[in-house]
Amino acid sequence: MLEGKRVLVTGGTGSFGKVLVRRLLEGDIGLPEEIIVFSRSEATQHTMRLSFQERQVATDEIVYEEMRHERLKFHIGDVNNYSAVSAVLRKADVVFHAAALKQVPTAEYHPFEAVRTNIVGAENIIQAIREHNFPIQAVVGISTDKACKPVNVMGMTKAIQERILAQGAIDCPDTRILLCRYGNVLASRGSVIPVFNQQIRAGGPLTITTPEMTRFLLSLDDAVDIVFAALKDGHSGETWIPRVPAAKMTDIAAAMIGDRPIETKITGIRPGEKIHEVLVSEEEASRTYDRGDFLVIEPILPELRLENPPGERFNEREYSSGTELLDPEGARELLARHSLLPDQGAVVA
């Protein structure tokens, strides 16, 4: 799908962005002619550039030799700057929009910064395509479970981002605009796995906000798989959601502690935090279809809906992390499968 294309990744220096860029360079769905990483941090771009250039694994040599020949490029800019967005979109055929202010407490203390990045950033992409008539073939917006029935600023702004991108499918009919919504990514920057690892190295305790808390869990490569699947088979305005396991945070903590004499400490829910996450709400369930490994929510705008959507209608009331939980052993096996237990040298992406 991406063979010979020019691909833009906004927020490309983040945890998801780096794995996405690696998969793009490996040619999973065709080797792009050019991959542009767009972000506002010169330091993280420099670090990412060095990390890709200095790969020493034999099987990666060909891939990263290609990168040295300028297949991978970096562009400094902020998604809330319309001029910067317009300038970089001129160079793109396909856009993966991953730029976000994503930390829940940060957004609570700096709500307007979340508005500028998560809402204005998405509007700038749509406005630039519409006003300049850029021949962008597809835009894939990266969303979060917190956008569903949002109770915090991060979720509220991402929910509006979803609506802006979906409405953009009407304004930009020649561009296929898709959304991917998923839950907590294991070992991503700022997530619970690296926090637990730091606390274990310090001798504890492991801090848990509430014993009832549950979360959907998937790997960064799983997240990229969702995005590629949506790009391959999605229709404009759809929201793609993975079927992924969920677990109690107490079970994740216990699996990581193992036999160590480390205690856990309940600290109370942080500002804007949910006990359970929801990927499909009760209101969305009536326009959701089961496509095997994925659930697909038809657009809320009737102009964008398919007459006969593929897949079977979703028959559940909602899709929540509070149901069908992994048992404690299942949680431990999930972490072990992704090499995320402390004894396996778990690291933050």
Per the annotation, the verdict on 232 as an active-site residue is no
**In whole angstroms, what is the distance from residue 192 CA to residue 194 CA?**
6
Mean pLDDT along residues 70-88: 94
pLDDT in tens, 5-56: 999 999 999 989 999 999 999 998 999 999 999 999 888 898 898 888 766 4
Question: Catalytic pick from 5, 146, 158, 274?
Answer: 146
DSSP string computed for 222-262? HHHHHHHHHHHH--TT-EEEE---EEEHHHHHHHHHTTS--
216 DSSP β-pair partners = 246
Instruction: Say whether pLDDT at 156 is over 50.
Output: yes
Helix (H, G, I), strand (E, B) or coil at 347: coil
Question: Which pLDDT does position 67 carry in this prediction?
Answer: 53
**In whole angstroms, what is the distance from residue 222 CA to residue 243 CA?**
10
Q: Tell me the CA end-to-end span of the chain in Å, nearest whole number.
A: 27
Q: Is the dihedral of CA 56, 60, 62, 66 positive or negative?
A: negative
Can you state the percent helix, strand and coil of the chain, rounding each to 5?
40, 20, 35
pLDDT in tens, 268-289: 987 778 899 999 999 999 999 9
**In whole angstroms, what is the distance from residue 4 CA to residue 20 CA?**
17
Mean pLDDT along residues 221-235: 95
**CB contact set of 330 (below 8 Å; sequence gap of 6+):** 245, 247
